[in-house]
């Protein structure tokens, strides 16, 4: 009889010792949580970057439309993007139908200046572009009116 009671008591003692989690179990749970948070952060960053690119493309389209309107009114393309806001001194105010934009955004979402060339270096009469996330002109991530 004593053997039975001692076996029962021994299982009670094992249960008492095993109340909490082991260090390995806690580390596994923490590791899984960190992986989930890291994956979410990566997806969020990618989502933000896509939004910035889309916003830049839309603003370049707006600039393109304003430049085309300027060309139709004045008979030539503007010398700079500022000409879309303020009438240049070499253009009569009767020809200039601006301002062609309410305001000119000085920088793209990555805080780089929008670029403009007339005549264009690409296939168009003028180029309008952002140097993209890396801030370097002439790289693969440039966003301009030549891109689809």
pLDDT tens for 101-121 read: 888 887 899 999 999 988 877
- Structural domains present in the chain: 23-144 (3.30.700.10)
Residues forming beta bridges with residue 113, ordered by sequence position: 107
Each residue of 30-46: pLDDT tens digit? 888 888 787 777 777 77
Give the residue, 23 or 124, on which the prediction is more confident: 23
Kindly tell me if the per-residue pLDDT of 66 is higher than 90: yes
117 forms beta bridges with 127
Question: In this model, does residue 75 exceed pLDDT 80?
Answer: yes
Q: What are phi and psi of 28, to 5 degrees?
A: -65, -45
pLDDT > 90: what percent of the chain? 22
């Amino acid at each position: 009889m004593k053997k039975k009671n001692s076996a029962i008591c021994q299982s009670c003692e094992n249960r008492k010792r095993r109340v909490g989690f082991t260090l390995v179990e806690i580390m596994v749970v923490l590791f899984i949580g960190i992986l989930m948070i890291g994956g979410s952060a990566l997806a969020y960053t990618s989502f933000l970057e896509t939004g910035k690119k889309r916003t830049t493309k839309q603003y370049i389209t707006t600039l393109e439309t304003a430049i085309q309107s300027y060309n139709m009114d004045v008979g030539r393309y503007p010398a700079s993007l500022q000409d879309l806001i303020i009438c240049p001194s070499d253009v009569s105010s009767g020809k200039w139908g601006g301002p062609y934009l309410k305001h000119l955004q000085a920088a793209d979402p990555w805080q780089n200046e929008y670029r403009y060339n007339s005549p264009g270096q690409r296939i168009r009469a003028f180029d309008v572009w952002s140097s993209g996330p890396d801030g370097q002109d002439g790289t693969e991530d440039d966003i301009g009116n030549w891109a689809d």
